[in-house]
Amino acid sequence: MGQATVATIEKILHPFAKDIRSNDVEVQGFDFTSRLWQEALGPDQDLEAALDRFGSRVTRGDLFELARECAKRPDNLPLHRQAFFGVMLWGYGRATRWGPGRVARHLQEVHRMPVTGFLAALAANQLASRILPDDVLGRPSHQFTPLS
């Protein structure tokens, strides 16, 4: 590997060096810009709740805690939507400006409905899907079961 390539990789990874070197996975996280998510997804109470919950940084510890809450409250759709948004914030972090738009576009293109409608239809077994298998769609109930 050439010296220029190593320098480029170091430059890219430098902002994440603290998180990468951390032995405590719960503090590993990413910063994000709330405004980009609000602009891409529009008004959404659950997105706002997730943004308020995380501030401008989401960590694995935050997501672990939220997953535990979801497991205790399997019928709380807004809480599960906050968890969904938290995972999206984690996955796209600050490294991409296109992440929020991509999430909004996929949610609209795949099921032609907002996230709320998708999750409500899934929970009511009324979702017509080209992606989810029949055994998922036909389950008598859906609940989030995190890894322990």
Tell me: pLDDT of 23 over 80: no
Q: Which long-range contacts (CB under 8 A, 24 or more apart) does 39-43 make?
A: 39/100, 40/100, 40/101, 40/103, 40/104, 41/100, 41/103, 41/104, 42/104
40 membership: H or E segment, kind and range? helix 34-41
Tokens describing residue 113: 């409905």
Total domain count, the chain: 1
Tell me: pLDDT of 121 over 80: no
Q: Is 57 within the bounds of a domain?
A: yes
Q: Is 87 within the bounds of a domain?
A: yes
Q: Residue 69 is part of which domain span?
A: 24-137
Q: Which one, of 54, 5, 7, lies nearest residue 32 by Cα? A: 54
pLDDT bucket at 53, cuts 50 / 70 / 90: very high
Whole-number pLDDT of residue 80: 87
What is the 8-class DSSP label of residue 118?
Answer: H
Q: Is 1 within the bounds of a domain?
A: no
Q: Is 13 within the bounds of a domain?
A: no
pLDDT bucket at 148, cuts 50 / 70 / 90: very low
Rounded Cα gap, residues 32 and 97, in angstroms: 9
Tell me: pLDDT of 28 over 70: yes
Q: Is 9 within the bounds of a domain?
A: no
Q: Is 64 within the bounds of a domain?
A: yes
Q: Is 142 within the bounds of a domain?
A: no
